[in-house]
């Protein structure tokens, strides 16, 4: 029913004498067309990502208006509101005036109204990723890389005068670059033992040399044309094995508003401000597998807080990052699809814009793309290797940011990077370079194969 209904509407629109062209991926969630007799028609991304691919619609490629004079107005709104339009494209009246009256009349007003009404009704319940690439360095890239994730656990940046070991980092970045790798995932505070700087349960600063050390690592990464996902915290912050001093203060910044704000104001914002615009930063990642320290999903050897506390922390940190550096991207490393998708038995996406904003109250506290992890214990129902990205019906690009390289992962196949690429994901990052049994040849071989097969999708081009 939906396919035939929308096909009919599109047939009416296509009969107009407008110039055709493929609907641009830049039309993220909404297209508002002004200057026509109906004044404004709201078209959800549903058009480009669903209707344009429906065989029953009889469209091998989605033909739509070739827009002339375009102004992009960016605004992030709650996805729970039917009127919410995360980004709008407005076709100016100057272009509208260039269309003849007869052409304009050829488009049915009733069809336009139908599109608006039907899509506004669909918006709260149907959401789809706008791209299967990560926009970085003015490119749309498939992230082709690996986790480091550290050389010295929680101690690669900060007050330790012996870190970072730049000979080590330079060697890794060189090997990534030589084999087509474009992304490294690097853990920073991790459990909070060395950074940030604390006074009791209050954060007083990033910690001595924290920003300078991270900048040194990022500078070296960029010299090799490798980007970095900077992961701030891990569930390890609540592991009792690290002692009550670490776990108690970590739990406090997760659950106590003033202490949480002290981290945001005195550490996070200075870090983001000090590194604002650095070309090597792909994204700031708030947590690695925070579900492991929650009452809902937590592991037996980890202290726990409610999932709502995790959502609130992500929301408030993401909001602070977006305000400090409007061009920065934010993500979060979810342990499985159990917490990253509303599709599938027992699954719930805790990280939608609406759910994060409800938890923390910051309208800027959203994720720019999702990352999820996969290991054989997760099982095939939640595997990105057996389901295309479209299966999860997510509204943002999705990177698979942890899985074992072959032959470590039995359910990933022999060419996991290529599989994820063909399945429509936005990146593949193996775990992990510094594991004792890490298979470096397999990791580098996967990266190299991706560069050979898909160079334009993985190669970072530095502007002169």
Indicate if the pLDDT at residue 231 is higher than 60.
yes
Task: Give the model's pLDDT for residue 51.
Answer: 37
Higher pLDDT, 155 or 8: 155
Higher pLDDT, 109 or 292: 292
Task: Give the model's pLDDT for residue 61.
Answer: 32
Task: Give the model's pLDDT for residue 112.
Answer: 41
The single residue listed with the structure tokens 């599938």 is 344
Tokens read off for 198: 């604390």
Using pLDDT thresholds of 50, 70 and 90, give the confidence band for residue 330. very high
**277-318 pLDDT, tens digit each:** 999 999 999 999 999 999 999 999 999 999 999 999 999 999
Distance from the Cα of residue 131 to its chain's centroid: 10
**19-31 pLDDT, tens digit each:** 333 333 333 333 3
Cis peptide, bond prior to residue 180, ω within 30 of zero = no
Indicate if the pLDDT at residue 426 is higher than 90.
yes
Task: Give the model's pLDDT for residue 102.
Answer: 40
The 8-class DSSP code of residue 130 comes to S
The CATH number corresponding to 134-458 among 3.20.20.80, 3.30.420.40, 3.30.365.10, 3.40.50.1370 equals: 3.20.20.80
Distance from the Cα of residue 382 to its chain's centroid: 19
> Using an 8 Å Cβ cutoff, are 214 and 269 in contact?
no
- Each domain of the chain, given as residue ranges in start order, spans 2-122, 134-458
Task: Give the model's pLDDT for residue 131.
Answer: 76
Using pLDDT thresholds of 50, 70 and 90, give the confidence band for residue 109. very low
The 8-class DSSP code of residue 204 comes to E
Indicate if the pLDDT at residue 85 is higher than 70.
no
**Cα radius of gyration rounded to whole Å, the chain:** 23
Choice among 54-58, 249-253, 268-272 with the minimum mean pLDDT: 54-58
The whole-number average pLDDT for the span 264-272 is 98
Choice among 109-113, 199-203, 410-414, 442-446 with the minimum mean pLDDT: 109-113
Is residue 344 classed as helix, strand or coil in its secondary structure?
A: coil
**344-375 pLDDT, tens digit each:** 999 999 999 999 999 999 999 999 999 999 99
Distance from the Cα of residue 60 to its chain's centroid: 29
Cis peptide, bond prior to residue 432, ω within 30 of zero = yes
Report the length, in residues, of the chain.
Answer: 464
Question: Which is nearest to 157 in space by CA: 192, 194, 191?
Answer: 194
Q: Helices in 69-126 by DSSP H: which ranges?
A: 93-97, 101-105, 109-122
The whole-number average pLDDT for the span 201-229 is 98
Higher pLDDT, 214 or 44: 214
Q: Which residues have CB under 8 Å from 203's CB, separation 6+?
A: 196, 197, 253, 259, 262, 263, 266, 267
Distance from the Cα of residue 374 to its chain's centroid: 16
Report if pTM > 0.85.
no
Task: Give the model's pLDDT for residue 129.
Answer: 53
Indicate if the pLDDT at residue 319 is higher than 90.
yes
Task: Give the model's pLDDT for residue 65.
Answer: 31
CA separation for the pair 53, 129 (Å, rounded): 14
Indicate if the pLDDT at residue 15 is higher than 70.
no
Indicate if the pLDDT at residue 87 is higher than 60.
no
Which of 251-257's residues contact partners 24+ apart within 8 Å by CB, and which partners? 251/303, 251/305, 252/201, 253/201, 253/203, 253/313, 254/305, 254/309, 254/310, 254/313, 255/305, 255/309, 256/201
Higher pLDDT, 123 or 215: 215
CA separation for the pair 462, 30 (Å, rounded): 31
Question: Which is nearest to 427 in space by CA: 452, 402, 444?
Answer: 402
> Using an 8 Å Cβ cutoff, are 459 and 452 in contact?
no
Indicate if the pLDDT at residue 94 is higher than 70.
no
Q: Work out the mean pLDDT of the chain and round it to a whole number.
A: 80
CA separation for the pair 308, 293 (Å, rounded): 12
Question: Which is nearest to 227 in space by CA: 137, 131, 330, 329?
Answer: 137
**136-195 pLDDT, tens digit each:** 999 999 999 999 999 999 999 999 999 999 999 999 999 999 999 999 999 999 999 999
Higher pLDDT, 38 or 424: 424
Tokens read off for 315: 């929301």
Tokens read off for 238: 């609540």
Q: Which residues have CB under 8 Å from 178's CB, separation 6+?
A: none
Choice among 77-86, 366-375, 401-410 with the minimum mean pLDDT: 77-86
The 8-class DSSP code of residue 8 comes to H
Task: Give the model's pLDDT for residue 464.
Answer: 66
Q: What is the DSSP string of 247-303?
A: HHHHHHHHH-HHHHHHHIIIIIHHHHHHTTT-TTEEEEEEEESGGGGBTTT--TTS-
Tokens read off for 173: 């970045």
Indicate if the pLDDT at residue 47 is higher than 60.
no
């Amino acid at each position: 029913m939906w396919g035939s209904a929308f096909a009919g509407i599109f047939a009416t629109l296509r009969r107009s004498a407008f110039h055709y062209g493929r609907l641009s991926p830049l039309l993220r969630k909404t297209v508002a067309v002004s200057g026509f007799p109906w004044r404004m028609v709201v078209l959800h991304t549903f058009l480009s990502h669903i209707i344009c691919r429906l065989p029953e619609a009889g469209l091998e490629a989605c033909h739509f208006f070739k827009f002339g004079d375009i102004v992009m107005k960016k605004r992030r709104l709650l996805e729970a509101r039917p009127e919410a339009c995360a980004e709008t494209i407005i076709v100016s009246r100057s272009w509208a005036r260039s269309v003849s009256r007869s052409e304009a009349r050829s488009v049915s007003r009733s069809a336009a109204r139908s599109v608006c009404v039907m899509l506004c009704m669909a918006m709260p319940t149907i959401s789809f990723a706008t791209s299967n690439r990560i926009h970085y360095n003015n490119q749309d890239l498939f992230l082709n890389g690996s986790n480091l994730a550290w050389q010295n656990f929680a101690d690669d940046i900060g007050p330790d005068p012996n870190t970072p070991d730049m000979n080590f980092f330079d060697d890794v970045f060189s090997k990534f670059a030589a084999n087509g790798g474009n992304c490294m995932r690097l853990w920073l505070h991790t459990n909070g033992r060395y950074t940030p700087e604390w006074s009791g349960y209050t954060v007083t600063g990033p910690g001595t040399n924290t920003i300078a050390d991270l900048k040194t690592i990022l500078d070296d990464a960029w010299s090799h044309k490798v980007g970095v996902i900077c992961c701030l915290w891990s569930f390890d912050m609540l592991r009792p094995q690290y002692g009550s001093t670490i776990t108690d203060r970590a739990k406090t910044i997760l659950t106590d508003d003033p202490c949480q704000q002290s981290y945001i104001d005195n550490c996070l914002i200075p870090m983001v401000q000090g590194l604002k615009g650095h070309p090597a930063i792909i994204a700031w990642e708030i947590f690695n597998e925070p579900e492991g320290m929650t009452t809902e999903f937590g592991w037996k050897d980890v202290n726990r807080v409610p999932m709502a506390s995790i959502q609130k922390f992500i929301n408030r940190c993401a909001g602070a990052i977006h305000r400090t550096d409007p061009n920065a991207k934010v993500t979060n490393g979810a342990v499985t699809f159990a917490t990253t998708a509303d599709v599938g038995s027992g699954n719930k996406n805790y990280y939608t814009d609406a759910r994060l904003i409800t938890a923390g109250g910051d309208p800027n506290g959203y994720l720019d793309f999702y990352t999820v992890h996969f290991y054989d214990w997760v099982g095939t129902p939640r595997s990105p290797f057996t389901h295309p990205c479209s299966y999860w019906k997510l509204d943002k690009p999705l990177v698979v940011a942890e899985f074992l390289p072959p032959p470590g992962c039995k359910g990933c196949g022999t060419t996991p990077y290529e599989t994820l690429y063909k399945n429509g994901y936005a990146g593949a990052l193996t775990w992990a370079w510094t594991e004792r049994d890490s298979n470096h040849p397999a990791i580098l071989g996967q990266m190299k194969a991706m560069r050979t097969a898909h160079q334009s999708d993985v190669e970072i081009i530095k502007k002169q």
